[in-house]
Amino acid sequence: MADPVTLAALGLDAALGWPRAFYRLAGHPVGWFAGLIDAAERHWNRPERRVGTRRLLGLLTVLLLTGLVGGAAWFVQSLLLERLGAFGWAAVALLAWPALAQRSLFDHVRAVADALDGESLPAARAAVGAIVGRDTAALDESGIARAAIESVAESFCDGVAAPAVWLLLLGLPGVWTYKAVNTADSLIGHREERWRAFGWAAARADDLLNLVPARLSALLICLAGGSGWRILRRDARKHASPNAGWPEAAMAGALGLRLAGPIAYDGVMHDKPWIGEGARPPSSRDIRRALRLYLGACALLWLLAGGAEWAL
């Protein structure tokens, strides 16, 4: 039986999240990654450079970031396991804990439902604006609810399932390299002209690392809901991302709702296809239903991680 590193990290995150006192004291590792990525983008992603040059410099950014993060994580993990012996796995679990976002995602999405139940659209828009990248100023109740539900589905993959998978497979180097790539994708892996070339490598690397976790996330959501398989098969590939459509289609099918559709980013409307079906607009009640599905999917992930670690 292998040491229960992934199960322990999941448990710590579910119980504590990332405490505000820790955040005030040292921030969060993702913030450190963001600082490195922003510095590289400012110095290397200059518009006067050729597209090919910017693409190569973006690739170099990803290689330097993953080499630094993965190398440091490997060194620390090796040192802990060597020096602490039987207790080394517990120290590794402690250092993997911040890479997971079960509690944070739940708390942020529940805040959106609470604001809608309190009939405060401005508060609900502010709450959902903290977890999505789309324009939120003009969203009505159904638009806010839809954005929150999509965030539950997609972030279950990015913030929970994928880190757990890479932690299970490769330990600290795996989970923190994944988080570094995922952070780079969120900051520079965009299709807009400014980032298209420079962020190409970050976007493709993130697609690769999420390939299996996205499909696992969809499977767990459908299992937790006991439904959604038909919509998953039909609509998973409608999303522009090769991965995000999987958990989103699973959530839409399990809830019997339509997600995605036309969305505004930076004042520009994007005519995205609908995922799922159903004439009823989503509400705060559906956000809470999505959160219950999310908790069920997290519980299944715990069982899977525990079983894998026991088998190993």
Please state the three-class secondary structure of the chain as a single string: CCCCHHHHHHHHHHHHCCCHHHHHHHCCHHHHHHHHHHHHHHHHCCCCCCHHHHHHHHHHHHHHHHHHHHHHHHHHHHHHHHHHHHHHHHHHHHHHHHHCCHHHHHHHHHHHHHHHHCCCHHHHHHHHHCCCCCCCCCCCHHHHHHHHHHHHHHHHHHHHHHHHHHHHHHHHHHHHHHHHHHHHHHHHCCCCCCCCCCCHHHHHHHHHHCHHHHHHHHHHHHHHHCCCHHHHHHHHHHCCCCCCHHHHHHHHHHHCCEEECCEEECCEEECCCEEECCCCCCCHHHHHHHHHHHHHHHHHHHHHHHHHHHHC
Apex 116 CA angle, 115 and 119, nearest 5: 95
Q: What number is the average pLDDT over the span 210-236?
A: 97
Where do the structural domains in the chain lie, given as residue ranges?
A: 5-311
pLDDT band at 24, cuts 50/70/90?
confident
Average pLDDT for 241-253: 96
Q: What integer best gives the mean pLDDT of the chain?
A: 94
Rounded to the nearest 10 degrees, what angle do helices 51-84 and 200-209 cross at?
40
pLDDT band, very low/low/confident/very high, at 48 (cuts 50, 70, 90): very high
Whole-number pLDDT of residue 192: 85
Query: In this predicted structure, what is the pLDDT of residue 198?
Result: 97
Span 217-225, mean pLDDT?
A: 98
* CA separation for the pair 168, 176 (Å, rounded): 12
Q: In this predicted structure, what is the pLDDT of residue 266?
A: 65
Q: Phi first, then psi: what are they for 270, rounded to 5°?
A: -115, 125
The pLDDT, as a whole number, for residue 311 is: 86
* Percent of the chain surpassing pLDDT 70: 98
Mean pLDDT to the nearest integer, 286-294: 98
Model confidence, pTM:
0.95
For residue 271, the model assigns a pLDDT of 79
Predicted confidence at residue 197, as pLDDT, reads: 96
State residue 68's pLDDT score. Answer: 97
